[in-house]
Amino acid sequence: MRAHLLAWTAILPLAIATLSPARAQTPAPLTADQAAFRDLFKELVETNTTVSSGSCTAAAEKMAVRLKAAGYKDDQLTLFSVPEFPKDGGLVAVLPGTSRTLKPMLLLGHLDVVEAKREDWTRDPFTMVEENGYYYARGASDMKGMVAAWVDIMARLKKDGPAPKRTIKLALTCGEETGGRFNGAKWLAETKPDLIAAEFALNEGGGGRTDGKGKVVVQSMQIGEKSNRNFRIEATNPGGHSSIPVRENAIYDLGDALAKVRDYGFPVTLNDTTRAFFAQAGASRGDDMGRAMVALSKNPNDASALAMVTSDRGYNSTLRTTCVATTIAGGHAENALPQRASANVNCRIFPGETAETTQAALVKAINNPAITVTLVGRIRPIAVPPPLDPRIMGPAEKLVAKYFPGVPLVPSMSTGATDATYLGVIGIPTYGVPGGWGDPDGNGAHGLNERREITSLMVGRDFLYDLVTAYASK
C-alpha cells in the first residue's frame, strides 16, 4: 500500500485540506473476540521480519499454526521457501468454496517490514506498545494489520461456516519491502501460478484517511499503481591531486545533473482512475483545492487549476511520473580529485510509460553526454491497471456507506508500488481495498514510531470480513 508506501508505500493522495497532527479517538474496551484478534496482531508485529535480522518464514509458520487450529488440513496449507533464502518464506492457504462456477478470490499480504533501529525509535519497534489510542510497532500500519485481518477472516470462516460459495485463497509473502533478494509474490506467480490462480485479488493500497483530528473524511479503493524503477546517474573523470583542482570535477558534474533532474517536470497525465479520483474527491471538499481538482479532471490543460493541485505533493505525484535522488556516492580519497560520482534516482512511473521512456526523458533533461543514465536494481513488471469494475466497487460502496455514513469511496491510483505488479501480468486484477484508516502524516510507515489507531484496526477488521464475505457470496 502496502500497503507501499510510499510506505505506503502506497501513500494515497489525501482528500483533505490540512496535515494537522493526528488525535485518535479513545477506543472502546475490547470484547473477548477483539482481544483475541489483538493477540494475533501482536504476535505478527512482535515477530521481526526485517531483511537484516528477521524471518518471514517464522511469521508464516506461526500463521499456519493458527489456521491449522481453526480446522485447516495439511493439504490446504502450503508453506514455501527457497534454499538460498530460507528466512524469506511464506504461506498459501485455501478455503474451498461450494460453487463449481465461481472462480476463486485471493487475499494478498506481505509479511516483511522495513528496517527499524531501536536507537532511533522512542519505543522498541518489535514490542507492541499501546499509547494514546494507538498500537506502536514496526509493521503496525504497513501492513501487518491487514495480514492479521486476512488470517482472522480465513480462521473465522473455517470455524464458523458455512463454507463460502467462492473459494478463498490467502497468500502471505516476503520481499515486498526488502529489495531484490527474494520476492514471494513473484516466485508464486512464476512457479506456482495455479496455486494462487484467482478471478481477482484484494491487497493493501486502499483505505481511509482522517482529517488529522480523528474524523475519517475519505475511503479509497486502489485501482492501479505506478511502477518503480531506479537509475544510476554517474559522472566520471580522470581525477588527480586535490592541490591542483580543475573545473571539470565528477562531483560537480553530478550535482549539475541532479539539479536538472530536480527541475524537470514530467508531463501531466490522467487516466480513468485518476480522473475519477480528482472529480469525486474534489467535489467532496468544497474549497478552492477541491474546485481546482474538479476543473483539472475536466481539463488537464487548465493552468490555474494545475498550479493549485500540484502545490500538493501527493496530488502532484498522482498526476505524473516523478523521479527523485535518494542515495549518492563519490570520490575515492580526501586528498584526490574525484574519479567517479554517482547517485540513485528513484522513479515512480505513471501507467502507460515505461522504463525506456523515463530513461530517455532523464537523458534529455540532463543534456550532458558525459553523464550516464543506467537502469539498475530490482525490475518489477510494469503495473497492469485493473478495470474499474462495478462488481468490485459496488459491494465496497455499500459497506463504506454503512460503516462511514457520508464518507465518499473514491477510486485512487497508488503513487507507490506493491506486489500487485506480479499478479497483474498473470491475469489477476488486484485491488487495494478500503476499511481501516490512517492519518495525514502516514502514521510512521517506513519511518520512525510507526503506529495504527486501535479503533481503525478493529473497525477495519470487521469491514474487511464483511467485504470478503460479500465478494465470496457471488
pLDDT band with cut points at 50, 70 and 90 for residue 440: confident
Asked whether 2 and 8 are in contact (CB, 8 A), the reply is yes
- The answer on pLDDT for 17 being more than 60 is no
**Cell for 312?**
500538493
Residue matched to cell numbers 475490547: 30
Would the pLDDT of 16 be above 60? no
Question: Comparing C-alpha atoms, which of 223, 238, 216 is closest to residue 271?
Answer: 223
Q: What are the backbone angles phi and psi of residue 180, rounded to the nearest 5°?
A: -95, 10
* Residue 25 confidence (pLDDT): 66
Distance CA 78, CA 294 (A): 47
Is it the case that residue 120 has pLDDT exceeding 60?
yes
pLDDT at 19 over 80: no
| Cα gap 351→271, rounded to integer Å | 8
Give dist(CA 453, CA 459) in Å, integer.
Answer: 10
Mean of per-residue pLDDT scores for the chain? 92
Looking at residue 148, its pLDDT comes to 98
Phi, psi of 150 (to 5 degrees): -60, -45
d(CA 151, CA 107): 9
| 178: pLDDT strictly greater than 90 | no
Segment 210-245, tens digit of pLDDT: 988 889 988 999 999 998 899 999 999 999 999 999
Please give the pLDDT value at position 339: 97
Task: Give the whole-angstrom CA distance, residue 471 versus residue 105.
Answer: 8
Contact, 241 vs 432, CB < 8 A?
no
pLDDT band at 416 (very low <50, low <70, confident <90, very high): confident
Q: Is 418 left (phi over 0), alpha (psi -120 to 50) or beta?
A: beta
Predicted local distance difference test score (pLDDT) of residue 1: 38
Q: Parallel, antiparallel, or unpaired for β 216-225 and 105-110?
A: unpaired
440 vs 164, more confident? 164
- Asked if 260 and 367 touch (Cβ cutoff 8 Å), the reply is yes
Q: Are 450 and 131 in contact (CB under 8 A)?
A: no
- Residues 420 and 98: their CA atoms lie apart, in Å, by 27
Say what the pLDDT of residue 23 is.
57
3-state secondary structure 117-167: CCCCCCCCCCCCEEECCEEECCCCCCCHHHHHHHHHHHHHHHHHCCCCCCC
Rounded to the nearest 10 degrees, the angle between the axes of helix 56-69 and helix 144-160 is 20
User: Which of the four pLDDT bands, split at 50, 70 and 90, describes residue 383?
Assistant: confident
3 state SS of 217 = strand
Query: Which pTM value belongs to this model?
Result: 0.86
Calculate what percentage of the chain has a pLDDT beyond 70: 94
CA distance 345 to 98: 50
Residues with Cβ within 8 Å of 47's Cβ and at least 6 positions away in sequence, in order, are 54, 55, 58, 59, 62, 126
Q: Which pLDDT does position 379 carry in this prediction?
A: 78
- Give the three-class secondary structure for 394: helix
Burial classification of residue 197, based on how many CB atoms lie within 10 Å of its CB (0-12 exposed, 13-18 middle, 19 or more buried): middle
